[in-house]
């Protein structure tokens, strides 16, 4: 339905209502379309008057819809009036109305009322991130930085993830202020980005850059750049952190993989205790490997070739470099078949160590274990993203560790050309380029900051890392 | 209160002004219209203001009376009740806002609601209750309608003819029950055992257990009605478990009179190991024929989240043979998981047992999951399928092959 352009009288509303196919929901539909068309508020008011006169009451959802319209048009006095009515009529409100009220009031000069409302929300539930966003932004806008940071900390303590918009406004409104405390807090936000592997987008990055450059007397200078494959920043020649995990992180991760990925709730789901034990003794007796290969995965690279030939090519390609290889496979590969020729299998076993799991076992879990046991230098080869294994890890921190380790250690084969010459190229799964030697995360050395950022327009998959960086250094 | 009044007054005033403007436009046409519109405005002001005041007062009264009740309640049991009451209140507001929330909610449900770990879990639970409530209401309405119709029909029947001649006394259901029970009793002595493995309680949520039990009840009833029933065993069944409570909920008094074997022993303790076959969709082995000498085990689990390999793990641990239904072999599978509900399994197994006809048995797989039966092995069919596709879409052979590989992954 098209909302009228001018306020109507009761009879006119009645006429419209009767013309509508289902009169019971006429008001709702009408208000919805008013919100969509951003109709003048007077029109909505006339509808409400008509309703109040007819029913002697206005339903809650209609009031909320009217409130939406008011918030959309920033009619602060109307918002207040609706709030007063609601407060008298209902003991508590529901989250949608609170959200609207907070949003509407926080952008006005009555923003302190929004804070009071936030307190009220806290009594019945955890406020949503947008509620916090409105309040924090309002506090920042009025230069109440301390209050803003209090709310921000409270939000983090409640496990509510802040929007990038909030973080950006912290930087936007701190420009040119000399305040050691404030600086510390903002550095804290950058470290938050680091810990959670969040990448700011272009405009956010610009806010960070401008803030750094505006600190009086600090002489920060920011420039946009791309990091070389070696991990060196072309602007300041600084070497970025390498992608290796620390000893503690490393042992933590391998422990978690054994506990949560391989054993999980029931060791029998992915393997069996006997098999895992056999595998463990096998690996321990031959440590350390340089490259662990997922045999079945690699054998499917070229669909037109025999599977064992694909594997053979891969092993030849890797064995040249005098590395210790471990190939993981399943027992069915040992059966002479059209895809798995016994002679070729024999030849391969001279060049690499093989472990054959049961046909119904998960070989990926073994792949992870063998690679982690071999040490930090060891890499593994598979096209699999290993998402299902990552999902077995219970907390996001370990999952981040897993991703980081995977970024640095996973290699993918890609057949170079469809021609006769068999040439394999190594790629990291994530970027069609060699495995990263540096860690793609916000980082600092005290007098430099390196911040990866993404273009807003560029689609970014969760497994991809941005290629563009902001380099900030102090002169 | 005052401000609310003010607002309503404002609404009235501002809505009237534009009307006046409208009328003024017509002034040239009707010289009298100005006075007319003025008098109209006056009338409106008079007519609406008192009613508005009245309404607002009514709200206030309702509010106050509601508050007093709450207070008296909270005094008796201080803290717990207040949080419950608050939750109830929130629910009420959500309902007013038009969300999927049940109208009536019991204390117990409210507690479950509050224990939900996240906002989305809460929403989901409420939606579930809401739909349940709707269904119940609908059922009741239908029942009432049916009863009325039946009464009418009876009235008419009694009017038209009074005596019906029949050599049987009309006692269908009880006679049938007796016959069924006789068969079930025989199956308990001579029948082929079928085991339901009741050891998955820990892996399921309460709702999943409820669903499981409902499916088992359905399976049991269709088994009882069959020509040659299985001898049903519930193994690993713990007394006072969630399963037990749900069964009593479903069967009531009949639970004690069921012609099945319920035991807390494992099937491996009752039957020789080499005769057991664990049926699981994750099994690498595909069932070829139904074996009348084997004892099939069905895991009593509904798996709403993704827990692949759970029953396979159980069979592996005990070193049992496993098997999966040959769904791929006989059906052109389209969507949905390969795991079937327990009553579907029961139907399939019963049909296999009676007829050994896979096509007939697999009729019980839900139609939405497959698009047709395959009478030739898939490998042979592949060529014709390719041909059809290339002719139909003019697509390259490779692409077709890729598609095919996707829908029929190599084992």
The string of pLDDT tens digits covering residues B38-61 is 344 434 443 433 333 333 333 333
Residue in chain A lying closest to B309 (CA): A269
A52 chain-B contacts, CB cut-off 8 A: 8, 11, 52, 55
pLDDT over 70 percentage in chain A: 93
- The total number of residues written for chain B in this structure: 411
pLDDT at A460 over 80: no
Predicted confidence at residue B46, as pLDDT, reads 39
* Count of C-beta atoms within a 10 Å radius of residue B61: 10
Residue B49 lies in a domain: no
The C-alpha of A473 sits at a distance from chain B's nearest C-alpha, in angstroms, of: 43
B contact test, residue of A25, A39, A52, A307 with most B CBs within 10 A: A52
B284 chain-A contacts, CB cut-off 8 A: 359-360
* B334 class by beta-carbon count within 10 Å (0-12 exposed, 13-18 middle, 19+ buried): exposed
Which of A165-174, A253-262, A374-383 holds the top average pLDDT? A165-174
Alpha helices in B97-196 (DSSP H): 107-115, 119-160, 172-190
B7 chain-A contacts, CB cut-off 8 A: 78, 81-82, 84-85
- Nearest residue, CB atoms, A52 vs list B8, B63, B89: B8
B56 chain-A contacts, CB cut-off 8 A: 88
CA distance B271 to B217: 24
Taking alpha carbons only, the member of B9, B61, B1 closest to residue A84 is B1
Judged by phi (left if over 0) then psi (alpha if -120 to 50, else beta), residue A386 lies in left
pLDDT over 90 percentage in chain B: 37
Mean pLDDT of the residues in chain B: 77
A contact test, residue of B3, B5, B10, B11 with most A CBs within 10 A: B11
Predicted confidence at residue A191, as pLDDT, reads 93
- Nearest residue, CB atoms, B93 vs list A84, A94, A270: A94
What is the pLDDT confidence band of residue A44, given thresholds at 50, 70 and 90? confident
B93 chain-A contacts, CB cut-off 8 A: 60, 90, 92-94, 97
A64 chain-B contacts, CB cut-off 8 A: 97
Q: Do A96 and B97 touch (CB under 8 A)?
A: yes
- Nearest residue, CB atoms, A57 vs list B22, B55, B312: B55
Predicted confidence at residue A228, as pLDDT, reads 84
Who wins on pLDDT, B161 or A346? Answer: A346
The C-alpha of A397 sits at a distance from chain B's nearest C-alpha, in angstroms, of: 20
Who wins on pLDDT, B226 or A466? Answer: B226
Predicted confidence at residue A388, as pLDDT, reads 86
Residue B48 lies in a domain: no
Predicted confidence at residue B161, as pLDDT, reads 60
Judged by phi (left if over 0) then psi (alpha if -120 to 50, else beta), residue A371 lies in alpha
Find the range with the poorest average confidence among A153-162, A396-405, B117-126: A396-405
Predicted confidence at residue B405, as pLDDT, reads 60
B312 chain-A contacts, CB cut-off 8 A: 268-269, 360
Who wins on pLDDT, B244 or B334? Answer: B244
Residue in chain B lying closest to A77 (CA): B7
* Number of domains within chain B: 1
CA distance B278 to B324: 9
B308 chain-A contacts, CB cut-off 8 A: 269
- Nearest residue, CB atoms, A53 vs list B22, B48, B119: B48
The mean pLDDT value for B133-161 works out to 90
Predicted confidence at residue A12, as pLDDT, reads 85
Backbone φ and ψ of B323, nearest 5°: -155, 150
Residue B390 lies in a domain: no
Task: State the maximum Cα–Cα separation within chain B, in Å, rounded to a whole number.
Answer: 106
pLDDT at B27 over 60: no
Q: Residue B209 belongs to what domain range?
A: 190-329+337-366
CA distance A57 to B62: 13
pLDDT at B166 over 60: yes
The C-alpha of B57 sits at a distance from chain A's nearest C-alpha, in angstroms, of: 10
Residue B3 lies in a domain: no
Q: Report ipTM for this prediction.
A: 0.79
pLDDT at A118 over 90: yes
- Nearest residue, CB atoms, B18 vs list A42, A82, A265: A42
What is the pLDDT confidence band of residue B382, given thresholds at 50, 70 and 90? low
* B39 class by beta-carbon count within 10 Å (0-12 exposed, 13-18 middle, 19+ buried): exposed
Q: Do A57 and B59 touch (CB under 8 A)?
A: yes
Who wins on pLDDT, B28 or A60? Answer: A60
Residue B305 lies in a domain: yes
Predicted confidence at residue B25, as pLDDT, reads 45
The C-alpha of B317 sits at a distance from chain A's nearest C-alpha, in angstroms, of: 6
Who wins on pLDDT, B100 or B382? Answer: B100
What is the pLDDT confidence band of residue B78, given thresholds at 50, 70 and 90? very low
What is the pTM assigned to this prediction?
0.75
Q: Do A268 and B14 touch (CB under 8 A)?
A: no
CA distance B84 to A1: 41
Q: Do A84 and B4 touch (CB under 8 A)?
A: yes
pLDDT at A74 over 60: yes
The mean pLDDT value for B231-241 works out to 93
CB B353 within 8 A of CB B290: yes
Mean pLDDT of the residues in chain A: 85
Predicted confidence at residue B389, as pLDDT, reads 63
Q: Can you give the CATH number for the domain in which B277 is found?
A: 3.40.1280.30
A100-124 b/e with 16+ CB inside 10 Å = b?
Answer: bbbbbbbbbebbbbbbebbebbeeb
Predicted confidence at residue A151, as pLDDT, reads 95
Residue B172 lies in a domain: no
What one-character-per-residue DSSP string does B348-367 give?
A: HHHHHHHH--HHHHGGGS-G
A80 chain-B contacts, CB cut-off 8 A: 3
Q: Do B15 and A270 touch (CB under 8 A)?
A: no
Predicted confidence at residue A365, as pLDDT, reads 86
The C-alpha of B319 sits at a distance from chain A's nearest C-alpha, in angstroms, of: 11
B317 chain-A contacts, CB cut-off 8 A: 266, 268, 272
Taking alpha carbons only, the member of A367, A147, A162 closest to residue A262 is A367
Predicted confidence at residue B69, as pLDDT, reads 42
- Nearest residue, CB atoms, B19 vs list A7, A45, A123: A7
Domains of chain A: 163-243+439-474 (1.25.40.10), 247-426 (3.40.50.11980)
- The total number of residues written for chain A in this structure: 475
Find the range with the poorest average confidence among A309-313, B52-56, B394-398: B52-56
Alpha helices in B252-308 (DSSP H): 267-270
The mean pLDDT value for A79-99 works out to 86
**Distances in whole angstroms, Cα of residue A1 to Cα of each of A6, A31, A33, A34:** 15, 10, 7, 9
B contact test, residue of A269, A306, A338, A359 with most B CBs within 10 A: A269
Residue B119 lies in a domain: no
How does pLDDT run across B182-226, given as a tens digit for each residue?
999 999 899 999 999 999 998 898 889 999 999 999 999 999 999
How does pLDDT run across A163-218, given as a tens digit for each residue?
999 999 999 999 888 888 999 999 999 999 998 888 899 999 999 999 999 988 88
Residue B180 lies in a domain: no
Residue in chain B lying closest to A95 (CA): B94
A85 chain-B contacts, CB cut-off 8 A: 3-4, 7
CA distance A102 to A66: 15
> Count of CB contacts below 8 A, A vs B?
113
């Amino acid at each position: 339905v098209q909302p009228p352009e001018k306020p109507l009288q009761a009879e006119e509303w009645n006429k419209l209502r009767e013309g509508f196919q289902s009169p019971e929901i006429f008001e709702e539909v009408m208000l919805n379309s008013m919100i969509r068309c951003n109709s003048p508020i007077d029109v909505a008011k006339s509808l409400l008057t008509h309703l109040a006169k007819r029913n002697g009451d206005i339903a809650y959802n209609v009031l909320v819809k009217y409130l939406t319209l008011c918030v959309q048009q920033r009619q602060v006095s109307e918002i207040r009036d609706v709030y007063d009515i609601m407060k008298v009529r209902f003991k508590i409100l529901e989250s949608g109305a609170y959200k609207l009220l907070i949003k509407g009031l926080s952008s006005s000069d009555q923003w302190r009322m929004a804070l009071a409302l936030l307190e009220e929300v806290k009594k019945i539930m955890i406020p949503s991130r947008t509620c916090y966003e409105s309040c924090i932004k309002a506090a920042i806008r009025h230069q109440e930085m301390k209050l803003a940071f209090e709310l921000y900390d409270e939000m983090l303590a409640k496990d509510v993830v802040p929007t990038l918009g909030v973080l950006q406004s912290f930087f936007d409104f701190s420009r040119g202020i000399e305040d050691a405390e404030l600086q510390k807090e903002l550095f804290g936000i950058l470290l938050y980005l680091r810990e959670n592997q969040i990448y700011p987008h272009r405009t956010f990055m610009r806010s960070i850059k401008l803030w750094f450059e505006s600190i009086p007397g600090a002489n920060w200078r920011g420039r946009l750049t791309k990091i070389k494959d070696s991990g060196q920043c072309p602007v300041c020649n600084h070497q970025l952190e390498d992608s290796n995990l620390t000893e503690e992180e490393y042992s933590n991760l391998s422990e978690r993989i054994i506990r949560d990925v391989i054993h999980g709730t029931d060791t029998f789901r992915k393997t069996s205790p006997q098999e895992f034990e056999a595998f463990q003794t096998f690996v321990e007796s031959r440590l350390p490997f340089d490259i662990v290969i997922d045999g079945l995965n690699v054998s499917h690279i070229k669909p037109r070739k025999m599977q064992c030939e694909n594997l053979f090519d891969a092993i030849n390609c890797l064995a040249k470099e005098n590395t210790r290889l471990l190939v993981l496979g399943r027992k069915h590969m040992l059966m002479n078949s059209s895809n798995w020729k016994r002679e070729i299998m024999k030849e391969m076993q001279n060049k690499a160590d093989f472990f054959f799991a049961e046909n119904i076992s998960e070989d990926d879990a073994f792949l992870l274990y063998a690679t982690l046991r071999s040490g930090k230098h060891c890499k593994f080869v598979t096209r699999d993203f290993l998402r299902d294994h990552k999902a077995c890890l219970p907390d996001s921190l370990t999952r981040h560790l897993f991703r980081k380790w995977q970024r640095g250690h996973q290699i993918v084969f890609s057949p170079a050309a469809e021609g006769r010459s068999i040439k394999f190229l190594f790629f990291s799964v994530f970027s069609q380029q060699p495995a990263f030697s540096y860690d793609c995360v916000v980082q600092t050395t005290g007098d430099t900051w390196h911040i990866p950022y993404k273009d807003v327009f560029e689609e970014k998959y969760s497994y991809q890392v941005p290629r563009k960086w902001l380099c900030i250094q102090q002169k | 209160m005052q401000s609310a009044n003010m607002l309503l007054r404002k609404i009235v005033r501002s809505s009237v002004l534009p009307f006046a403007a409208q009328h003024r436009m017509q002034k040239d046409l009707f010289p009298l219209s100005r006075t007319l519109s003025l008098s109209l405005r006056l009338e409106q002001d008079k007519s609406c203001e008192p009613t508005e005041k009245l309404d607002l007062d009514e709200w206030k009264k309702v509010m106050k009376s509601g508050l007093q009740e709450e207070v008296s309640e909270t005094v008796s049991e201080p803290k717990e009740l207040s949080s419950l009451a608050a939750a109830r209140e929130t629910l009420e507001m959500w309902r007013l806002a038009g969300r999927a929330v049940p109208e009536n909610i019991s204390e117990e449900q409210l507690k479950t609601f509050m224990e939900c770990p996240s906002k989305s879990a809460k929403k989901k639970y409420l939606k579930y209750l809401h739909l349940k409530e709707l269904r119940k209401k609908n059922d009741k309405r239908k029942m009432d309608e049916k009863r009325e119709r039946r009464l009418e029909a009876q009235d008419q029947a009694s009017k038209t003819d009074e005596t019906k001649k029949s050599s049987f006394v009309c006692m269908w259901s009880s006679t049938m029950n007796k016959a069924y029970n006789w068969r079930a009793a025989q199956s308990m002595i001579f029948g082929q055992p079928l085991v339901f493995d009741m050891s998955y309680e820990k892996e399921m949520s309460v709702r999943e257990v409820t669903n499981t039990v409902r499916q088992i009840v359905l399976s049991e009833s269709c088994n009882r009605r069959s020509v040659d029933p299985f001898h049903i065993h519930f193994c690993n069944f713990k007394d006072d478990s969630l399963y037990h409570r749900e069964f009593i909920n479903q069967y009531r008094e009949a639970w004690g009179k069921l012609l099945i074997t319920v035991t807390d022993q494992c099937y491996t303790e009752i039957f020789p190991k080499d005769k057991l076959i664990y049926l699981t969709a994750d099994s690498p082995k595909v069932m070829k024929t139904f074996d009348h000498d084997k004892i099939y085990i069905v895991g009593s689990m509904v798996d709403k989240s993704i827990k692949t390999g759970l029953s396979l793990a159980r069979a592996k641990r005990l070193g049992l043979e496993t098997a999966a239904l040959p769904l791929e072999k006989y059906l052109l599978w389209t969507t949905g998981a390969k795991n079937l509900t327990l009553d579907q399994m029961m139907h399939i197994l019963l049909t296999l047992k009676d007829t050994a006809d896979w096509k007939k048995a697999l009729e019980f797989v839900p139609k939405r999951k497959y698009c047709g039966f395959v009478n030739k092995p898939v490998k042979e069919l592949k060529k014709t399928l390719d041909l059809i596709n290339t002719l139909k879409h003019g697509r390259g052979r490779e692409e077709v092959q890729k598609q095919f590989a996707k829908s029929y992954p190599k084992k």
